[in-house]
Amino acid sequence: MRKIVFDIETTNFFTDTGSNDPASLSLACVCVHDSATDAYSSFFEEDLPKLWPILEGADILIGYNSDHFDIPILNKYYPGDLRAIKSIDLMKEIQKALGRRIGLGAIASATLGKKKSADGGLAIQWWRQGEKKKVVDYCIDDVRITKELYDHALRHGKVKYVDGKMPHELLLNTSDWEMKKEHVLTHTLPF
């Protein structure tokens, strides 16, 4: 089963666009971990034609807030519809089980004992200062954390979070996460 864990960073804020629609934002970079190669890669807007075959070859796209944020932004650039590929949005899975959303940093800290290296606001500042490598490094770090959270949840059926000062375990139903879904895409490659 080919799993692509991914995250994106943007060049702007919602306040810059005057909209709360993620598709109103512009892409800075996309970073992925491809289980087929066990490698991390990054793509800027001009590199997206190289990314599409990777995503199209995935059995599962895995992200954090990816169904609401990352996929709508990528779909703005993609000639097909990435929603046709099975997606596991860890934030959505946590919200289903808990009834509210919790950020990646809080779940990673409680579950893995790891902190995020920065935040999206700082990444936008770096982008605007021309520090693209810092943005890519931060994005790849988020992909690593998301992959580790996914692997942990799949192995143990739970993640942890802190409510007030009390740590809690949150059971997740992972039984269908790795069941294959047939998908039909408008592929970017000519046939």
Q: Torsion over CA of 162, 164, 70 and 30, rounded to 10 degrees?
A: -60
What integer pLDDT is reported at residue 182 of this predicted model?
67
Judge if pTM exceeds 0.85.
Answer: yes
From residue 58, alpha-carbon distances to 46, 53, 78 in Å are 21, 9, 15
| 99 close to 112: Cβ distance less than 8 angstroms | no
What integer pLDDT is reported at residue 173 of this predicted model?
95
Averaged pLDDT, groups of 10, the chain, 191 residues long:
97 92 95 98 97 97 97 96 96 96 95 92 95 97 98 97 90 93 55 40
Helix locations, 33-176, DSSP H:
48-56, 71-77, 90-98, 104-112, 120-128, 132-156
What integer pLDDT is reported at residue 185 of this predicted model?
53
d(CA 91, CA 94): 5
What integer pLDDT is reported at residue 34 of this predicted model?
98
What integer pLDDT is reported at residue 163 of this predicted model?
84
Domains of the chain: 3-171 (3.30.420.10)
